[in-house]
Structure 1
């Protein structure tokens, strides 16, 4: 049995090895990509995007129901310690439906339509309702792997949309209710909500369409991430948070 001390000793080594190999993995994945290696990708490359946009009103209903108990949505930094650098306070909250392909049953039960819709996305990695409170900011950063792409679907967008944005490389994007955009998060990106309203989106991470050696490297890298403490810690923390909330509801 591994002790907590041993786990802490092994984790930095895994992180160091991963960081050292990451540029090599990313280069091979980019070469094998079936979609352009650019910051912002055309929605037409992903047929499932149109289906999700069409179903957006149903997902908005589920999102609003969950937001009715907004304080029960955990801050991302509490779920994933590795995100503390880019989640400096509790204003970025995350309601996970899937994390690296693994469903969160309690959360999926509260948003069954959304959970069913995202389950049909080819290569789904993660899907969550991402909430950024008024004044919230996500500092500039880059994603770890070319093996995944990100998609954002607006579910609750501030009326002052010009002051709520994400910048990906040289592209400044604003969310719209019921509309989606897809981007490569290995390009530097940053988010700000400079309004007095909450920004709510469906945040999706999915496997980049790849082939050949790039596909093999993608599978190896993502397989390693799924087994890492980065994912295991988050899974355990989500389960712990849901247990606590269930106990509070009984009081």
Structure 2
């Protein structure tokens, strides 16, 4: 929705001026917002992925080593508690609380049944986060949350998430495996991997990726975003401010649309 993108770079310049932050400290974020507004990505290497909001100069590779992140061991130590909480709470959720992903939504297409339980959306805490206090506290403590998206993702037997690419390279995406399945697998760029019990997978979702469950049971992961490690603290704050701008712009657009259609 282009209406939400228009003015984002101008808003960030005004925000940095109000915070007495030098524009040079957020020039990568500004470059990404300007590319988003234009709809093109000049300056990216020919073999690079194609994010909608690309920040230049960030290390780019499909898969990242979980052990390179200082919080990984602590999160894995809490994996069993998160898993127990998920199964205890999810069995009591209503159908409306387990959100079914749309068959077709922008870049994302899915077949079969893929459901999500959202804890954070664009860095904003959702109502269901309070139902999962162990998971929410673990991520805030060891994985620098909130940042981007956080949700439990269930891919049921015979389901597939078609190849797609993510929104921005400012985030990396993590899967904490809650319930693996031998028939479920996952591709990022040209490499397929299986989800293994209590494993962390860290990847750049601006590379093309897809998922399939050909097994006879569901596959469940806790999916969450982390900041790209190359970003400074100021760049992180600037990017989150931009996401808040988009969220409010979308809300205004939907409100005006609802009022116009009475």
Q: TM-score when scaled to structure 2?
A: 0.69
- Root-mean-square deviation (CA), in Å? 3.4
Which residue number corresponds to residue 162 of structure 2?
Answer: 139
Which residue number corresponds to residue 29 of structure 1?
Answer: 55
Which residue number corresponds to residue 154 of structure 1?
Answer: 177
Which residue number corresponds to residue 101 of structure 1?
Answer: 123
For structure 2, list consecutive stretches of 5 or more residues without a partner in the other structure.
8-32, 46-53, 255-262
Give 1:84-123 correspondences, 5 Å limit. Answer: 85-89=107-111, 91-104=113-126, 106-120=127-141, 121-122=143-144
Instruction: Assess, with a 3 A threshold, how the Cα gap between structure 1 residues 209 and 26 changes in structure 2: closer, same or farther.
Output: farther
Q: Say whether residues 1:62 and 2:85 are aligned partners.
A: yes
Which residue number corresponds to residue 205 of structure 2?
Answer: 185
Structure possessing the higher radius of gyration over alpha carbons? 2
Per-residue deviation, residues 165-191 of structure 1 (Å, max 9, x unmatched): 110012111111211010001111111
Per-residue deviation, residues 81-123 of structure 1 (Å, max 9, x unmatched): 8x3652445722111111222112x312211100101112226
CA contact (8 A) 1:225 1:231 kept: no
Partner of 1:117: helix, strand, or coil?
helix
Instruction: Assess, with a 3 A threshold, how the Cα gap between structure 1 residues 38 and 231 changes in structure 2: closer, same or farther.
Output: farther
How many matched pairs? 215
Give 1:14-53 correspondences, 5 Å limit. Answer: 18=36, 20=38, 23-24=41-42, 29-31=55-57, 33=58, 36-53=59-76
- In the aligned structure 2, how far is the partner of 1:151 from the partner of 1:25? 27
Instruction: Assess, with a 3 A threshold, how the Cα gap between structure 1 residues 11 and 108 changes in structure 2: closer, same or farther.
Output: closer
Using CA pairs below 8 Å that are at least 6 residues apart, which structure has the higher relative contact order?
1
- In the aligned structure 1, how far is the partner of 2:187 from the partner of 2:42? 26
Aligned-residue offset at 1:44: 2.1
> Larger % of helix: which?
1
For structure 1, list consecutive stretches of 5 or more residues without a partner in the other structure.
1-7, 237-251
